Amino acid sequence: MMSADTMLKRAAPVLACIGLLAVWQLASLALHNDSFPTAIEAIRAIPSILSDKDSLVNFGASLRRMAVGFGVAVAVSIPLGLSMGRSRAVASFFNPLLMVIYPVPKAALMPIIMLWLGVGDIAKTLVIFLGVSLPVIYHSFEGAKAVEEKMLWSGAAMGLTAAQRLIRIVLPAALPEILTGCRTGLVLALITMITSEMIARQSGAGNILFNALDMGQYDTVFAMIIIVGAMGICLDALFERIRARLVRWSEPQFDIPLSFS
């Protein structure tokens, strides 16, 4: 049996969505701008996009590239980040290079990568890979750095080899921080996915969105914004579920408000 309080908590994000859509509706009614359709008009345009076979193929292509880029990035970045966190030499070897790469917008590499690899899947997946890997490396690095030394010493005293210590002690201890990085990486994957498709307009969700913008189909533009937004929210919620399962033991108690007023 759910109490009224938890039910309200579950419903809160839905209420927030409805509230935001209502604000949008009122704003567009007040502005009377041809290029700013109302929320209801935009929602009405969604079914025709989702029932179109071409656009479904496009969404599939986008999600496939994102999944591949994200998966490879996580698989490469976590070991790299962890070993950077545990070894000073590795850290000082890679740190400056990563700091130089970090502020470069990965999607801006798209025009250059396109020259070498063409406009196909490889170029876009590579860009997504680059976008995701940096936050994951950074957070794994921070997480591994903060592992309690005593646990490692006890592990070593009990005869674990360095590799075993990395997997059995450092990885679980750094997991909450790693997952924070993966969550940032997920949002970045979506962003780079959209922008890479906007630059190399060949297929994908970003392609539909920006082509509609150029052709002045404003209800499609806003409908696509809703769809992409929903995608982001669903992926994030899904990830949050997985994360909650994996790191149940380290739930931070953030929900207690400070009392002094």
Provide the token pair at 45: 């345009």
Cα angle 231-234-237, degrees, rounded to a multiple of 5: 145
Question: Ramachandran region of residue 216, left (φ > 0), alpha (ψ -120 to 50) or beta?
Answer: left
Q: Which of 22, 29, 67, 99 binds other proteins (CB under 8 A)?
A: 99
**3-class SS of residue 93:** helix
178 scored as a contact of other proteins (CB under 8 A): no
Please state at what angle helix 4-31 crosses helix 39-50, rounded to 10 degrees: 100
Q: Which of 6, 7, 20, 87 binds other proteins (CB under 8 A)?
A: 20
Write out the H or E segment, with its range, that includes residue 129. helix 121-145
120 scored as a contact of other proteins (CB under 8 A): no
For residue 87, the one-letter residue type is: S
CB nearer to other proteins: give 179 or 221.
Answer: 221
Query: CB of 210: closest distance to other proteins in angstroms?
Result: 7
For residue 247, the one-letter residue type is: V
Query: CB of 159: closest distance to other proteins in angstroms?
Result: 31
Q: Which of 30, 115, 157, 158 binds other proteins (CB under 8 A)?
A: 115
Convert residues 122-161 into a mask of x (bound to other proteins by CB under 8 A) and - (unbound).
Answer: ----------------------------------------
187 scored as a contact of other proteins (CB under 8 A): yes
d(CA 232, CA 189): 10
Would you give the DSSP letter of residue 119? S
**3-class SS of residue 7:** helix
CB nearer to other proteins: give 169 or 227.
Answer: 227
Number of residues that bind other proteins (CB under 8 A): 64
100 scored as a contact of other proteins (CB under 8 A): yes
**Of 178, 247, 206, 208, the residue nearest 65 (C-alpha):** 206
d(CA 187, CA 229): 11
Query: CB of 70: closest distance to other proteins in angstroms?
Result: 14
Q: Which of 108, 146, 215, 242 binds other proteins (CB under 8 A)?
A: 108
Q: Which of 45, 55, 222, 223 binds other proteins (CB under 8 A)?
A: 222
d(CA 67, CA 138): 20
For other proteins, the binding residues (CB under 8 A) are: 12-13, 15-17, 19-20, 33, 35-36, 88-89, 92-97, 99-109, 111-112, 115-116, 184, 186-187, 190-191, 194-195, 198-199, 209-210, 213, 218, 221-222, 224-225, 228-229, 232-233, 235-236, 252, 254, 256-261
